[in-house]
């Protein structure tokens, strides 16, 4: 008779075996911390899951009963090994039977056959212990090690368990017992209602809560318990209690070099104790510690045994609290709400307070509270303190209690105040922080350090001249402990904190006889040929020696914390494999600066830094306040160390001022430093804010500013704060200013080898420049994009291979991006973006993702044509690197056709301007360049069959008088776009040409129609289609006309954010001349500026003469001059010469008799001054001739 088939597809039922209840605690100690199914499932081994539908359970159970009665009997199960199942998103760590023959496999086959199902194989018996995310991560390896360290679980399997899922109204669910099937007689025991597994406390083992003690045979065993605690006649009169955070190792395999030094400090005279509480104890460290003979002799009892002993469980967490003592005790664990957080409560069986006939054992509670100075961590600490105090009050009322451990409570007033001022923490959280001591005191606890300090004074090492309130008695001191300094980083957290404490509660039972710190023993080591000092831990330990029992009357004193594109290593061929040849090629191309250039830029940067950060004379020391903190840091190619002789220095200044105030003060300082070789070239207002272009001792510098008092004060520690930190809660515009330095900092710290990275970066940059794809504003590559692309390849390679040579790195780089699908894939650093929530839009043909917010995609100007060009260049480079005999010098020099000879036809944009103002022409040319990307996009949309390539440079004709034209104030240049029609194009060529002309005409009209930038009186722009022969005589124009992006505006006018303050600041240069006139000013009524002619003085040129000379003299740049004038209401003001209105009918007309002076913007020199009769243009105003 054929077996009726019952489908096994339901996740609401399961058939499994369960270990005996007595074994659950040792399994669940790990499951409760690492298995997300803990509480929903009991410890189990699935036989069939998914199982049958709920309504089919009765039939299925009867079929299974028949099968097991006929073919099965009870058998032994053994869980003695651990292993891992690897899944797509995580991994399952489990224990299993390591024997080859497994009766569970046969049992499963019989059961499936009874249900009419076929056993397709692949079953592997297992009991889940937990999950991990990354098999290569240390946390995964530590957990696997814990699973392997579980003592063998062995039992007789004599029944099967049927489980059903019970869903709760809140949306959760749990598996409950539905029935059991006996393997002995096949009997079925069905429950009336499904029964939960965790509805009652789990049974405890007989030795649960007992400490381990060292016995003969080099074995630690559970100490035999006693019926009840009772006082001993040998009870000590004093008790030395110590607590020590030993700093866990967080990388696998754990380094053990600190272990001997930790033990040495524990055994030192300053640390010798009767009870020792250790925090951050790992399996590896405890196994090492308990092998030491001196430790065994000093502490016969330990709350946990050595995890490397076969019958001892691993510690439940990675960081654990362990108690060692020379007195017998019992202990229990008190869990907190946060995962892996809890207290260990110890009850001494022979030490305590005898009150008449009642003996109250001494209780010691050890804690390691949540770390951190954030609202969330402070709230967690508050909850943990409340929980342990409540637990002690409910369970051990009137008992003498010691509360000790690492409290992680910030005590430094400086740290707390700074965190509050920088909005790193709320005032409410600070109130909680300052209430902890009150809470302990209200509950009857006394701080032994405070008592010792009041009675005996602090130790000499605590008397720090620079200490703030709350720093005395510090046990965590980054200023003195290199390990603590390394972990903390920098900023306001780099202050001493008193984290570790010993508190006592017990009326007159405790008397603090002595309090001291320990852990200061260090060891001198040699690492990499250098002398280094090894510290045992980042914490100092503390010890209190307590007298137990009431003090005799005679002695009493009256003092009371998916989308990754894989990279395949491509080895460089022999002719490219020599790094020295690569270095020579870079030197020949002048991509590596000389020592003189390095010194020149270092000197220029140091000078600029000193001028900007020099303390102001207005903040003198006698005023009782310090100068505001100003930070100047290099960014861009100079900051990354990939610059060459043609590179500018990009600088970012960080400070507490508003941008208007900063630039007003800085401009004044820079102009006053002109004698040191500093010249302000121009000031640019861009979408990103104001930027100063400077010449510092012949080095071009771009200076930008980001306002943030908190970051300036916490620099460079702020860089280590995560993006979610309150210190980075800034506006998008300000964050955009910080983005380059944050991205740069992360790259410098994260790439495998920064020296190799810089060499590779230089070659890629030089290659991109030569191939015409290094210009971000045209949609090509830029420095940050090369940085990201190279960093991700380098890091992905290093993740798989320990060492990657520079030639192999470069060969892999070009091969990887030659085959990269830019349309579909994102280029990002997966080591930084572990969860990338970036959504790409249809308008992004390329996505190279940066590191920090606000803007992630660095390719906002990319277009389909530019991406195609970049792809073709990567593919060309990849082919070259595979050509036999190719060298790096040949690779950089290889030219398969000049751009001017690569196309039959070109789009030619002819740009001309004339007149005296280079500023106007520069603005027009820069704005036109910024619009070229829109032309490429429009061409792609309207003429998709054409391939267009823009060359990122201006061209000029090879003419003898080109330089003379420039000197006369006129300029003509060309931009070229190569156009190519693929052979397979079916569209009629005349139609394509007509559409092309229409598109170009529309672009030309748009440019000429924008009156903000195009002035037909001094500018001309045409766009045509030219044959190759018409442009073959062109050459690239290497003159520097300034960098410009859409929205930039060159100006020295007052900043819109603070016009009034800026105006007064600018006028300060003229202050000395007009002091008397200002003091006598009593009215704002209109008046003329009248200056009496000195006796014997010659004729003085009028303001009208100067105005005309500056406007029309071709040797002078009118955009470089400003007019100082007397405003009827605001007093002295300034206005750019180019926007000065001379027509009386104009609304902004100002009479010329109100002109005070004319001044050069670039150096601040006043070239004509009415009051002092200064005239540097005509030389007038001096003594009369003859």
Q: What is the pLDDT of residue 1095?
A: 60
CA dist list (Å): 599 to 253, 591, 605, 654, 1127: 44, 16, 10, 25, 48
Mean pLDDT of 444-467: 62
Share of the chain above pLDDT 70, in %: 86
What CA–CA distance (Å, rounded) separates 702 from 695?
Answer: 9
Residue 431, token pair as written in the block = 């109130």
**pLDDT at position 556 over 80:** no
Q: What is the pLDDT of residue 1082?
A: 39
Residue 146, token pair as written in the block = 């814990």
Task: Give the β-pairing of 320-325 and 678-686.
Answer: unpaired
Q: What is the pLDDT of residue 870?
A: 94
Per the model's pLDDT, the better-predicted residue between 492 and 570 turns out to be 570
Whether 140 contacts 85, CB under 8 Å: no
Whether 183 contacts 74, CB under 8 Å: yes
**pLDDT at position 1056 over 60:** no
**pLDDT at position 195 over 60:** yes
Of the chain, the end-to-end C-alpha distance in Å amounts to 140
What CA–CA distance (Å, rounded) separates 23 from 11?
Answer: 26
946: nearest Cα among 906, 895, 897: 906
**pLDDT at position 460 over 60:** no
Name beta bridge partners: 950: 977
| Per-residue model confidence as pLDDT tens digits over 704-718 | 999 998 899 888 888
List strands edge to edge, sheet with 1174-1175. 1131-1136, 1121-1127, 1155-1160, 1166-1169, 1174-1175
| Per-residue model confidence as pLDDT tens digits over 723-781 | 778 888 888 888 889 999 999 988 887 777 777 888 999 999 999 999 999 988 888 99
Say which residues have a Cβ less than 8 Å from residue 31's Cβ, sequence separation at least 6: 37, 38, 43, 128, 129, 130
SS3 561: coil
27: nearest Cα among 93, 85, 90: 93
Task: Give the β-pairing of 947-950 and 1131-1136.
Answer: unpaired
Q: What is the pLDDT of residue 150?
A: 94
List strands edge to edge, sheet with 689-696. 631-635, 649-655, 699-707, 689-696, 678-686, 1049-1050
Per the model's pLDDT, the better-predicted residue between 620 and 1178 turns out to be 1178
**pLDDT at position 623 over 90:** no
| Per-residue model confidence as pLDDT tens digits over 139-174 | 999 999 999 999 999 999 999 999 999 998 888 899
**pLDDT at position 1163 over 60:** yes
What CA–CA distance (Å, rounded) separates 371 from 561?
Answer: 4
Share of the chain above pLDDT 90, in %: 44
HSE, CB side, 13 Å, CA atoms: give it for residue 1177.
26
Say which residues have a Cβ less than 8 Å from residue 200's Cβ, sequence separation at least 6: none
Q: What is the pLDDT of residue 490?
A: 77
**pLDDT at position 1088 over 50:** no
Q: What is the pLDDT of residue 1140?
A: 85
Q: What is the pLDDT of residue 228?
A: 58
Whether 1167 contacts 1177, CB under 8 Å: yes
Helix boundaries (H) for 258-374? 259-266, 283-289, 293-298
pLDDT, averaged across the chain: 84
Q: What is the pLDDT of residue 940?
A: 82
Per the model's pLDDT, the better-predicted residue between 552 and 399 turns out to be 399
What CA–CA distance (Å, rounded) separates 969 from 1113?
Answer: 9
For residue 518, which phi and psi values (nearest 5 degrees)?
-145, 180
Q: In which residue are the tokens 């530019």 written? A: 866
- Detail the DSSP E strand segments found in 58-217: 75-79, 81-86, 91-96, 127-132, 153-157, 159-167, 173-182, 188-195, 212-215
Four-residue CA torsion sign, 1156, 1157, 1161, 1163:
negative
| Per-residue model confidence as pLDDT tens digits over 476-494 | 999 899 999 988 887 888 8
Say which residues have a Cβ less than 8 Å from residue 695's Cβ, sequence separation at least 6: 678, 679, 681, 701
CA dist list (Å): 680 to 398, 696, 699, 1137: 77, 9, 12, 18
Whether 1140 contacts 1119, CB under 8 Å: no
Q: In which residue are the tokens 């009215």 written? A: 1083
**pLDDT at position 1055 over 50:** no
92: nearest Cα among 132, 42, 49: 132
CA dist list (Å): 1080 to 589, 1065, 1093, 1153: 65, 21, 20, 20
Residue 687, token pair as written in the block = 């979408």
What CA–CA distance (Å, rounded) separates 556 from 615?
Answer: 58
Indicate the class that CATH gives domain 574-614+627-656+708-893: mainly alpha
**pLDDT at position 618 over 60:** no
- 1085 DSSP assignment: S
Q: Report whether CATH 3.30.70.330 matches the domain 8-195.
A: no
Q: Where in the chain are the domains?
A: 8-195, 234-551, 574-614+627-656+708-893, 899-1049, 1083-1175
Q: For residue 413, name the pLDDT band (cuts at 50, 70, 90).
A: confident
782: nearest Cα among 773, 771, 790, 791: 773
Q: What is the pLDDT of residue 221?
A: 92
What CA–CA distance (Å, rounded) separates 479 from 749?
Answer: 23
862: nearest Cα among 941, 933, 949, 786: 933
| Cis, bond preceding 50 (omega within 30 deg of 0) | yes
Whether 116 contacts 60, CB under 8 Å: no
Residue 259, token pair as written in the block = 């272990």
Whether 927 contacts 847, CB under 8 Å: no
- The distance from CA 886 to its chain's CA centroid, rounded to whole angstroms, is 40
Whole-prediction pTM value?
0.51
Identify which of 447-461, 862-876, 969-983 has the greatest average pLDDT: 862-876
SS3 1127: strand
| Cis, bond preceding 291 (omega within 30 deg of 0) | no
CA dist list (Å): 674 to 535, 669, 705, 1121, 1124: 51, 9, 21, 18, 21
Domains 8-195 and 234-551 share a fold: no
What CA–CA distance (Å, rounded) separates 1099 from 1101?
Answer: 7
Residue 492 backbone zone (phi > 0: left; psi -120 to 50: alpha; other: beta): alpha
Helix boundaries (H) for 299-374? none
Q: For residue 315, name the pLDDT band (cuts at 50, 70, 90).
A: very high
| Per-residue model confidence as pLDDT tens digits over 1142-1153 | 776 676 788 888
Mean pLDDT of 567-594: 90
Q: For residue 628, name the pLDDT band (cuts at 50, 70, 90).
A: low
Q: What is the pLDDT of residue 555?
A: 54
**pLDDT at position 917 over 70:** no
Mean pLDDT of 191-216: 82
887: exposed, middle or buried (Cβ count in 10 Å: 0-12, 13-18, 19+): middle
Mean pLDDT of 1039-1068: 42
| Helix/strand/coil (H/E/C) assignment for every residue in 981-1045 | CCCCCCCCHHHHHHHHHHHHHHHHHHHHHCCCCCCCCCEEEEEEEEEHHHHCCEEECCCCCCCCC
Whether 373 contacts 424, CB under 8 Å: yes
| Per-residue model confidence as pLDDT tens digits over 780-797 | 999 999 999 999 998 888
- The string of DSSP codes covering 512-554 is EEEEEEE---EEEEEETTEEEEEES-SS-EEEEEEEESPPPGG
State the fold for domain 899-1049: Alpha-Beta Plaits (3.30.70)
| Per-residue model confidence as pLDDT tens digits over 65-109 | 988 888 778 889 999 999 999 998 899 999 999 887 778 888 899
- Detail the DSSP E strand segments found in 1103-1165: 1121-1127, 1131-1136, 1155-1160
The superfamily (CATH) of domain 234-551 is Endonuclease/exonuclease/phosphatase (3.60.10.10)
């Amino acid at each position: 008779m054929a077996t009726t088939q019952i489908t096994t597809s339901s996740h609401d039922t399961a058939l499994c075996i369960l270990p005996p209840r007595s074994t659950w605690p040792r399994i669940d100690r790990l499951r409760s911390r690492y298995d997300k199914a803990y509480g929903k499932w009991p410890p189990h081994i699935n036989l069939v899951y998914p199982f049958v539908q709920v309504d089919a359970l009765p039939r299925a159970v009867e079929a299974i009963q028949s099968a097991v009665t006929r073919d099965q009997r009870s058998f032994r199960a053994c869980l003695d090994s651990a292993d891992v199942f690897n899944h797509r998103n995580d991994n399952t760590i489990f224990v299993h039977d390591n024997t080859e023959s497994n009766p569970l496999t046969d049992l499963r086959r019989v059961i499936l056959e009874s249900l009419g199902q076929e056993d397709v194989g692949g079953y592997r018996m297992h009991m889940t212990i937990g999950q991990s995310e990354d098999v290569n991560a240390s946390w995964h390896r530590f957990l696997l090690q814990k699973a392997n360290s579980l003592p063998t679980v062995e039992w007789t399997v004599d029944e099967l368990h049927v489980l059903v899922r019970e869903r709760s109204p809140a949306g959760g669910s749990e598996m409950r017992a539905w029935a059991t099937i006996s393997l002995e007689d096949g009997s079925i025991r069905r429950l009336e209602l499904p029964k939960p597994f965790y509805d009652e406390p789990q049974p405890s083992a007989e030795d649960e809560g007992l400490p381990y003690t060292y016995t003969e045979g080099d074995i630690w065993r559970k100490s035999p318990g006693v019926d009840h605690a009772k006082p001993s006649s040998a009870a000590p009169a004093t008790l030395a209690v110590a607590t020590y955070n030993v700093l866990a190792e967080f990388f696998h395999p754990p380094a053990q070099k600190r272990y001997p030094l930790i033990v040495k400090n524990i055994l030192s005279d300053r640390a010798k104790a009767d009870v020792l509480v250790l925090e951050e104890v790992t399996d590896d460290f405890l196994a090492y510690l308990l092998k030491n003979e001196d430790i065994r002799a000093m502490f016969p009892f330990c709350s946990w045994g050595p995890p490397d002993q076969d019958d001892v469980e691993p510690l439940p967490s990675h960081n654990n609290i362990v108690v060692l003592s020379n007195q017998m005790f019992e202990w229990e664990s008190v869990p907190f709400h946060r995962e892996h957080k809890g207290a260990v409560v110890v009850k001494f069986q022979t030490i305590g307070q005898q009150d008449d006939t009642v003996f109250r054992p001494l209780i010691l509670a050890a804690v390691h509270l949540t770390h951190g100075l954030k609202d969330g961590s402070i709230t967690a600490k508050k909850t943990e303190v409340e929980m342990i105090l409540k637990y002690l009050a409910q369970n051990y009322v009137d008992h003498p209690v010691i509360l000790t451990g690492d409290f992680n409570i910030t005590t430094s007033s400086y740290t707390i105040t700074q965190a509050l001022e920088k909005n790193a923490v709320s005032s409410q959280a600070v109130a909680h922080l300052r209430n902890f001591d009150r809470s302990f005191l209200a509950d009857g606890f006394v701080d032994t350090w405070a008592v010792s300090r009041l009675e005996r004074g602090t130790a000499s090492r605590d008397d720090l001249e620079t200490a703030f309130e709350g720093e005395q008695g510090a046990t965590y001191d980054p200023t003195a402990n290199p390990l603590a300094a390394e972990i903390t980083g920098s900023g306001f957290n780099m202050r001493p904190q008193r984290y570790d404490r010993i508190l006592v509660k017990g009326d007159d039972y405790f008397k603090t006889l002595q309090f001291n710190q320990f852990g200061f023993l260090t060891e001198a080591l040699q690492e990499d040929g250098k002398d280094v000092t090894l510290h045992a831990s980042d914490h100092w330990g503390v010890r209190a020696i307590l007298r137990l029992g009431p003090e005799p009357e005679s002695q009493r004193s009256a003092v009371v914390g998916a989308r990754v594109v894989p990279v395949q290593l491509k080895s460089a061929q022999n002719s490219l494999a020599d790094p020295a040849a690569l270095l020579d090629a870079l030197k020949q191309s002048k991509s590596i600066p000389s020592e003189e250039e390095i010194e020149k830029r270092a000197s220029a940067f140091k000078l600029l830094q000193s001028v900007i950060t020099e303390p102001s004379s207005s903040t003198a020391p006698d005023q009782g306040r310090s100068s505001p903190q100003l930070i100047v840091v290099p960014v861009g190619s100079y900051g990354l160390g990939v610059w060459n002789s043609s590179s500018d220095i990009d600088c970012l200044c960080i400070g507490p001022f508003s941008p208007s105030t900063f630039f007003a003060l800085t401009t004044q300082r820079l102009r006053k430093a002109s004698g040191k070789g500093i010249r302000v070239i121009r000031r640019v207002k861009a979408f990103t804010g104001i930027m100063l272009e400077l010449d510092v001792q012949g080095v071009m510098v771009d200076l930008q500013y980001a306002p943030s008092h908190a970051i300036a004060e916490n620099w460079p520690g702020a860089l280590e704060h995560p993006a979610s930190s309150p210190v980075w809660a800034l506006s998008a515009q300000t964050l955009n200013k910080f983005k380059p330095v944050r991205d740069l900092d992360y790259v410098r710290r994260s790439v495998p080898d920064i020296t190799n990275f810089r060499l590779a970066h230089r070659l890629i940059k030089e290659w991109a420049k030569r191939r015409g794809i290094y210009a971000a504003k045209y949609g090509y590559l830029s420095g940050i994009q090369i940085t990201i692309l190279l960093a991700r390849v380098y890091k992905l390679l290093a993740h798989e291979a320990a060492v990657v040579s520079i030639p192999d790195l470069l060969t892999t780089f070009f091969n990887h991006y030659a085959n990269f699908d830019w349309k579909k894939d994102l280029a990002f650093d997966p080591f930084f973006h572990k969860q990338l929530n970036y959504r790409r839009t249809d308008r992004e043909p390329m996505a190279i993702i940066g590191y920090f917010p606000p803007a992630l995609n660095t390719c906002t100007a990319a277009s389909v044509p530019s991406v195609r060009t970049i792809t073709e260049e990567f593919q060309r480079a990849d082919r070259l690197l595979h050509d036999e005999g190719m060298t790096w010098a040949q690779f950089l020099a290889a030219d398969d056709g000049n751009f001017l000879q690569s196309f039959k036809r070109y789009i030619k944009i002819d740009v001309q301007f004339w007149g005296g103002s280079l500023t106007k022409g520069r603005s027009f040319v820069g704005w036109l360049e910024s619009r070229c990307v829109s032309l490429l996009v429009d061409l792609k949309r309207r003429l998709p069959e054409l391939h267009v390539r823009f060359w990122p440079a201006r061209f000029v004709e090879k003419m003898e008088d080109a330089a003379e034209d420039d000197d006369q104030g006129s300029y003509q240049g060309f931009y070229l776009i190569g156009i190519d029609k693929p052979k397979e194009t079916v569209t009629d060529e005349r139609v394509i040409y007509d559409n092309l002309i229409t598109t170009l005409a529309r672009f030309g009209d748009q440019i000429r129609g924008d009156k903000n930038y195009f002035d037909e009186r001094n500018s001309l722009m045409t766009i045509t289609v030219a044959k190759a022969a018409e442009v073959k005589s062109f050459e690239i124009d290497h003159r520097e006309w300034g960098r410009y992006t859409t929205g930039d505006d060159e100006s020295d006018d007052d900043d819109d954010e603070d016009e009034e303050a800026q105006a007064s600041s600018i006028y300060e240069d003229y202050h000395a001349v007009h002091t008397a006139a200002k003091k006598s000013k009593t009215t704002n009524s209109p008046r003329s500026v009248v200056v009496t002619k000195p006796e014997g003085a010659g004729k003085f040129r009028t303001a009208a003469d100067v105005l005309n000379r500056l406007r029309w003299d071709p040797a002078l740049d009118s955009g470089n001059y400003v007019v100082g004038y007397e405003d009827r209401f605001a007093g002295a003001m300034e206005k750019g010469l180019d926007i000065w209105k001379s027509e009386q009918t104009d609304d902004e007309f100002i009479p010329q008799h109100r002109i005070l002076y004319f001044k050069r913007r670039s150096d601040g020199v006043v070239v004509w001054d009415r009051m002092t009769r200064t005239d540097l243009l005509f030389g007038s105003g001096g003594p009369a001739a003859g």
